[in-house]
Amino acid sequence: MAIADVADLWQLAATLMGERGSDKIGDSATVATATKPLERTFASFYDEVRQSALKDAEWDFATKNGVLREAPTTDWYKQSHDWTDRWDYVYQPPADLLHFFRFVDDSPQLGLVTDYARKKLPITYVKSTIAGTSGVYPWTAAAETRIFQGSVLGTIRDESGVDGTFKDTPGSLLLGKYAFGLYPVGGSTLLMSGNYLSFSTSIDVTTTTNDEFYFAGAVYPSSITLEYARWADNQEDWTNHILTNRQDAQAVYAIDVTNPSDWPEEFQLAVAGEMALRGAVVHAKNSRTIQLLDQQALAAKSKAISHLTSDEGSIYGGQLSGAELARLR
């Protein structure tokens, strides 16, 4: 069956369990509210199963390469922090990172793997899009004032609809197209200034909560998007960072592809198989059924890994992990 949405995937999983019919799994509208017993069961672990499967291998459809940015080290009190411990560098995760696999130049099959660690730091990363009028963009963010010094990045959209980035690293083909400054609302103290792709690094918003970006010139971008790091008071909000001795690191990582229609058929079958197995356990199917579903789920995952990852792209080299193989014994 063609999988168009989550409801179709759940219906496939129900069929593998031997639970056919719309009285078991409804359409996309009823699945969203999860009113039927089997829908509630699937809803309780669907996100976990999907994300766990995406972390299992470097899937061709759900893996990205990206340059890592170093985490900020100076807080709003202009106090420096050494986050690195025994490592030389600490990098913030990409916004769309679901799971870090390795660095781009590593080759797990050849035993070439850069040492790294994961560590939660008292930092959260925020994006805020601000629409402007006549070149003025109000930034009213009382809860967002404790940002790290020099850590604000941003994106602006020019009159042709093209996004560009302004940041604290100078240099751009369009440098000087827009000149701007950041001022307290109604005030005259310049907090920050720069050009289209250039920020001053002397960012200091410790004494003001309501600010505004101002673009000078006859042409104004329609909006600006700020991306910045702020101090996280609540430990539950701390962000997991990547620590390593590698300079200018580039990561290979998994992203969360949430729509099953964007998955290849082999991956759809692997996720549906795992859901059917878990559903059978919850709904107390007999042991023989559970054993068969277990074997089918493992076979589906093995087939997906061999078909949907390259020789260099599978963290298992096209094979199941030892933990997964143990399930077969």
What's the average model confidence in pLDDT over 259-266?
Answer: 94
pLDDT tier for residue 195 given thresholds of 50, 70 and 90: very low
Pair (132, 183) in one structural domain: yes
What's the domain count of the chain?
3
In a domain, 71, yes or no: yes
CA dihedral 88, 93, 97, 101 (to 10 degrees): 0
Pair (149, 176) in one structural domain: yes
What is the per-residue pLDDT for 140? 58
Q: What is the pTM of this model?
A: 0.75
CA separation for the pair 310, 297 (Å, rounded): 21
pLDDT in tens, 49-93: 999 999 999 999 999 999 898 898 877 677 888 998 889 999 999
Question: What string of DSSP letters covers 90-148?
Answer: EEEPPTT-SEEEEETT-BGGGTB---EEEEEESEEEEEEEEE-BTTEEEEE-GGG--BP
Name beta bridge partners: 92.
Answer: 69
User: Six-digit token pair at 269?
Assistant: 């079958």
In residues, how long is the chain? 329
Provide, rounded to the nearest whole percent, the portion of the chain with pLDDT above 90: 41
Domain containing 69: what range?
A: 63-122+234-254
Pair (115, 102) in one structural domain: yes
**pLDDT: is 152 or 175 the higher one?**
152
Pair (91, 240) in one structural domain: yes
Pair (68, 107) in one structural domain: yes
Judged against a pLDDT cut of 80, whether residue 19 lies above it is answered with yes
Neighbours of 147 (CB within 10 A): 22
Pair (210, 70) in one structural domain: no
Contact between 179 and 195 (Cβ < 8 Å): yes
What is the per-residue pLDDT for 181? 53
In a domain, 293, yes or no: yes
pLDDT in tens, 39-56: 999 999 999 999 999 999
319, burial (CB in 10 Å: exposed 0-12, middle 13-18, buried 19+): middle
CA separation for the pair 47, 222 (Å, rounded): 36
Name beta bridge partners: 121.
Answer: 239
What is the per-residue pLDDT for 35? 84
Residues sharing a CB contact under 8 Å with residue 135, sequence separation 6 or more, in sequence order = 214, 215, 216, 217, 220
pLDDT tier for residue 26 given thresholds of 50, 70 and 90: confident
Rg (CA), the chain: 25
User: Six-digit token pair at 310?
Assistant: 């390259």
What is the per-residue pLDDT for 220? 61
Name beta bridge partners: 70.
Answer: 91
What is the per-residue pLDDT for 203? 37
In a domain, 271, yes or no: yes
Pair (269, 183) in one structural domain: no
What is the per-residue pLDDT for 267? 96
What's the average model confidence in pLDDT over 99-107?
Answer: 91
Average pLDDT along the chain: 76
- Residue 24, helix vs strand vs coil: coil
What is the per-residue pLDDT for 152? 63
Contact between 255 and 62 (Cβ < 8 Å): yes
What is the per-residue pLDDT for 318? 41
What's the average model confidence in pLDDT over 277-292?
Answer: 91
Pair (29, 173) in one structural domain: no
CA separation for the pair 182, 195 (Å, rounded): 12
Final residue of a structural domain among 189, 219, 254 = 254
What's the average model confidence in pLDDT over 283-288?
Answer: 88
Pair (80, 106) in one structural domain: yes
In a domain, 1, yes or no: no
pLDDT tier for residue 246 given thresholds of 50, 70 and 90: very high
Judged against a pLDDT cut of 50, whether residue 266 lies above it is answered with yes
Pair (91, 154) in one structural domain: no
In a domain, 11, yes or no: yes
Contact between 303 and 272 (Cβ < 8 Å): no
CA separation for the pair 226, 135 (Å, rounded): 16
Final residue of a structural domain among 220, 254, 288 = 254
Pair (95, 242) in one structural domain: yes
Judged against a pLDDT cut of 60, whether residue 165 lies above it is answered with no
CA 35 to chain centre: 30
Judged against a pLDDT cut of 70, whether residue 242 lies above it is answered with yes
